[in-house]
């Protein structure tokens, strides 16, 4: 059982209390462990949920929407106006330069958060160097091309900060929960094993109980335990081991 994870035990207890409860309640043994196992089930489910949850999801989504929408606006504006014949060549050239440096393709605005955050750092340097000419180019009432690009780049920089904050928050939460999970995991495995032994004794002394009752109740537990032992290593993906 050494390779069973917190997530494994959560699944096992959920199976026991949802699909095996009818079998378990036939025994006296289960009454001894029911409350403690139910409490540990709730704790394990909560731990797994926290370990799998990603903080700052909404904040990242909001920053990404601004980053992408501003970027698309720059792309379409530059694409349309850079070929406008009545626009003086100097301004058309500026738009072509902006498109090349800030919005060369629409696919740039469907990339990962990490890629967008990385690009923002490079774009900020370029933007600072073009501030004067871009500020003199209006694109909407009370908005210059610089303002639009600044909003785009600023959103990318915010994504970078949020990702760093998420990493710190996740590390702190995971450390606390993994410590808690280690204790609960050990206690739960011990209780399950003792329940099984007690149930097997009870079956041997009660002719009214099915001889294969324990095997049926713990079939899922055995399946997961055997799978983990065969792999011979702890899984690298969540739910994390404890």
> Which tens digits make up the pLDDT trace of 21-53?
999 999 999 999 999 999 999 999 988 877 767
Of 138, 116, 101, give the one whose Cα is nearest residue 69: 116
Name the token pair of 9.
């035990």
Say which DSSP state 241 is in: P
Beta-strand (E) ranges in the chain? 138-140, 143-144
Query: What backbone torsions phi and psi does residue 128 show, to the nearest 5 degrees?
Result: -60, -35
Say which DSSP state 138 is in: E
Ordered alpha helix ranges (H), 88-144: 89-102, 113-129, 131-135
Ranking 69-78, 97-106, 170-179 by mean pLDDT, the lowest is 170-179
Neighbours of 153 (CB within 10 A): 24
* pLDDT single digits (tens) 183-226: 898 999 999 999 999 999 999 999 999 999 999 999 999 999 88
170 sits in which H/E element: helix 145-205
Strand partners, 138: 144
């Amino acid at each position: 059982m050494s390779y069973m994870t917190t997530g494994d035990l959560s699944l096992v207890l959920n199976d026991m209390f949802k699909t095996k409860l009818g079998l378990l309640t036939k025994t006296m043994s289960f009454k001894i462990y029911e409350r403690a196992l139910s409490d540990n089930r709730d704790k394990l489910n909560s731990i797994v949920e926290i370990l799998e949850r990603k903080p700052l999801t909404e904040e990242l989504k909001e920053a990404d929407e601004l980053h992408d929408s501003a970027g698309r606006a720059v792309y379409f504006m530059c694409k349309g106006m850079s070929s406008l014949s009545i626009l003086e060549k100097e301004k058309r050239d500026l738009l072509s330069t902006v498109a090349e440096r800030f919005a060369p393709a629409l696919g740039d605005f469907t990339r990962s958060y990490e890629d967008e955050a990385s690009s923002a750092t490079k774009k900020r340097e370029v933007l600072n160097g073009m501030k004067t000419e871009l500020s003199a180019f209006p694109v909407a009432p009370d908005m210059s091309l610089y303002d639009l690009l600044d909003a785009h780049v600023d959103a990318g920089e915010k994504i970078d900060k949020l990702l760093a904050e998420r990493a710190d928050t996740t590390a702190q939460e995971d450390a606390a929960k993994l410590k808690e999970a280690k204790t609960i995991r050990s206690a739960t495995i011990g209780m399950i094993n003792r329940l099984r032994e007690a149930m097997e004794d009870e079956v041997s002394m009660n002719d009214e109980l099915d001889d294969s009752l324990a095997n049926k109740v713990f079939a899922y537990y055995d399946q997961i335990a055997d799978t983990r032992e065969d792999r011979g290593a702890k899984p690298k993906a969540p739910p994390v081991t404890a």
